[in-house]
């Protein structure tokens, strides 16, 4: 369609252009210092992220995946243990459990939020014999129901590790920052995250000094003191160039979050005006066949790492193609729930085991939501979706 704006799912160039002078100076500072691994730049970022997440300890590491590995290792998760997590999330959540020889035990999600469902968690945990931890994910930037999950974890006597890879700065119903509620929180600074590095980067956060100390040793091959190893750890260090870039960007994170929230509210209004309902209503119940994300309630802070709509499965892929033809980038997060991934077939949870996770995989589509998205671009996206769904519904 000539004349229509092109709208990528994410465009990081405007962010870099706006901060170029500051970021280039920060990179030059590290290059000048010739100190590339850990060191003062990383320590400064750790302090800043700890303050931002309202925890006492933060440790930079090489990725969100390594953050999960460090957390599980520090809690003593090992071969034969079980760790409960949602079936609908990025692979790394469960991959890190399996990588340690432990068994991911999948629970279903709440269809309104895509987050771990407490009822399913309770039910699945009942069948566990060696449950070592619960690993909720704050998917798309919205906190999992932490108060309910804390009650369950307390009853079971197991710790919570939070996968906050998509949720830096989001808050739960009690206003607590993602990653600060459980024993350990895991962050990712993958470039497409709301705070993105110029490569792979991650962090573990905690309020427990002993656990933080254990993770800091595990991060460097289990080495303490130098060249003495009481445990076998990882090489999971954060490099100083990433930390320097992240420190510049962190100062702008709240403004960017405000931009994402404003864009989400604009989409919500456009879809509501076209007779769509929010995600708390089942898809089958009349109006435009689209559900936009459930609005945050109470003290909840949704940071909209992704803005994910739900449409009937039979229309989803056609809608994606229609938007692609109009120059609009979208993504399916995620097309296959984890219990149906080939590598987890050995766990024996087949089709229909976790119906909400399976329906989400068939019905969801992520739209452009980045802060620099213009009003014209957003109207083009929302209008293209509404016209397609109206025609399909006629
Ligand atoms: C929910 C979730 N967990 C874990 C990760 C892993 O993070 P990373 O890519 O930094 O290893 C990601 C991001 O990619 C994620 O979205």
- Using the mean position of ligand 1's atoms as its centre, give its distance from the Cα of residue 306 in Å: 13
202 CA: nearest ligand 1 atom: 10
- In the DSSP assignment, the letter for residue 307 is E
Pairing of strands 103-107, 82-86: parallel
- Using the mean position of ligand 1's atoms as its centre, give its distance from the Cα of residue 204 in Å: 13
Tens of pLDDT along 306-333?
999 999 999 999 999 999 999 999 999 9
- Using the mean position of ligand 1's atoms as its centre, give its distance from the Cα of residue 393 in Å: 36
139 CA: nearest ligand 1 atom: 1
**What is the best residue among 68, 179, 188 to mutate for testing ligand 1's pocket, by most ligand atoms within 8 Å of CB?**
188
Same fold, 13-250 and 253-393: no
Query: 388: which 2 tokens?
Result: 């397609």
User: What angle do helix axes 118-126 and 146-156 make, rounded to 10 degrees?
Assistant: 20
Question: Which residues have C-beta atoms less than 6 Å from ligand 1?
Answer: 63-65, 89-90, 92-93, 137, 163, 165-166, 188, 190, 200, 202
The SS3 assignment for 328 reads strand
- What is residue 394's predicted lDDT score, i.e. its pLDDT? 78
- What is residue 5's predicted lDDT score, i.e. its pLDDT? 61
- What is residue 130's predicted lDDT score, i.e. its pLDDT? 98
188 CA: nearest ligand 1 atom: 10
- What is residue 2's predicted lDDT score, i.e. its pLDDT? 46
Q: Does domain 253-393 have CATH number 1.10.10.10?
A: no
- Using the mean position of ligand 1's atoms as its centre, give its distance from the Cα of residue 123 in Å: 26
| CB-based contacts of 312-318 (< 8 A; 24+ apart in sequence) | 312/283, 312/363, 313/359, 313/362, 313/363, 315/289, 315/388, 315/389, 315/392, 316/362, 316/363, 316/364, 316/365, 318/388, 318/392
Tens of pLDDT along 241-250?
999 999 999 9
CA 166 to the chain's CA centroid: 2
Tens of pLDDT along 202-238?
999 999 999 999 999 999 999 999 999 989 999 999 9
- Using the mean position of ligand 1's atoms as its centre, give its distance from the Cα of residue 122 in Å: 25
Could you count the other beta carbons within 10 Å of the beta carbon of residue 1?
9
Every domain of the chain and the residues it spans: 13-250, 253-393
**What is the best residue among 89, 92, 115 to mutate for testing ligand 1's pocket, by most ligand atoms within 8 Å of CB?**
92
65 CA: nearest ligand 1 atom: 11
Q: Does residue 259 register a pLDDT over 50?
A: yes
Q: What percent of the chain is modeled with pLDDT above 70?
A: 99
Could you count the other beta carbons within 10 Å of the beta carbon of residue 74?
26
Q: Does residue 372 register a pLDDT over 70?
A: yes
Which fold does the domain 13-250 belong to in CATH? 3.40.640
Query: 323: which 2 tokens?
Result: 């938007």
167-183 in b/e form (b: 16+ CB < 10 A) is bbbbbbeeebbbbbbbb
193 CA: nearest ligand 1 atom: 13
- What is residue 352's predicted lDDT score, i.e. its pLDDT? 86
Q: What percent of the chain is modeled with pLDDT above 90?
A: 94
Instruction: State the chain's mean pLDDT as an integer.
Output: 96
CA 235 to the chain's CA centroid: 23
Residue owning the nearest CA to atom 12 of ligand 1: 165
Residue 307 pairs in a beta bridge with 367
């Amino acid at each position: 369609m000539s004349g229509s704006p092109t709208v990528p799912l994410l465009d990081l160039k405007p962010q870099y252009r706006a901060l170029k002078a500051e970021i280039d100076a920060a990179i030059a500072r590290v290059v000048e210092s010739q100190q590339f691994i850990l060191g003062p730049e990383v320590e400064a970022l750790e302090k800043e992220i700890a303050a931002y997440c309202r925890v006492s300890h933060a440790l930079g590491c090489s990725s969100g995946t390594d953050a999960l590995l460090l957390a599980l290792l520090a809690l003593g998760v090992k071969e034969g243990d079980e760790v409960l997590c949602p079936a609908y999330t990025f692979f790394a959540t469960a991959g890190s459990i399996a990588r340690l020889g432990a068994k991911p035990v999948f629970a279903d999600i709440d269809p309104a939020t895509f987050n771990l469902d407490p009822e399913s968690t309770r039910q699945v945990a009942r069948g566990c014999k060696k449950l070592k931890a619960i690993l909720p994910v704050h998917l798309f930037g919205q906190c999992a129901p932490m108060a309910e999950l804390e009650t369950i974890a307390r009853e079971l006597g197991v710790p919570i590790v939070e996968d906050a890879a998509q949720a830096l700065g989001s808050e739960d119903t009690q206003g607590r920052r993602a990653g600060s509620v459980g024993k350990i929180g895991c962050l990712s600074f993958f470039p497409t995250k709301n705070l993105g590095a110029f490569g792979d980067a991650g962090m573990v956060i905690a309020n427990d000094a002993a656990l933080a100390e254990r993770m800091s040793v595990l991060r460097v091959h289990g080495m303490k003191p130098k060249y003495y190893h009481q445990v076998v750890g990882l090489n999971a260090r954060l490099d100083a160039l990433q930390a320097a870039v992240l420190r510049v960007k962190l100062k702008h994170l709240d403004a960017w979050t405000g931009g994402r929230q404003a864009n989400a509210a604009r989409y919500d209004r456009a879809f509501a005006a076209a007779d769509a309902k929010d995600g708390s209503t089942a898809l089958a119940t009349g109006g435009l066949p689209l559900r936009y994300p459930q609005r945050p309630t109470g003290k909840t802070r949704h940071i909209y790492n992704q803005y994910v709509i739900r449409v009937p499965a039979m229309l989803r892929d056609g809608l994606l193609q229609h938007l692609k033809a109009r120059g609009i980038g979208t993504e399916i997060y995620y097309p296959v729930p984890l219990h149906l991934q080939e590598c987890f077939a050995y766990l024996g949870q087949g089709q229909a085991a976790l119906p909400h996770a399976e329906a989400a995989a068939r019905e969801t589509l992520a739209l452009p939501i980045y802060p620099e998205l213009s009003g014209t671009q957003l109207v083009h996206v929302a209008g293209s979706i509404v016209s397609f769904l109206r025609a399909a519904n006629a």
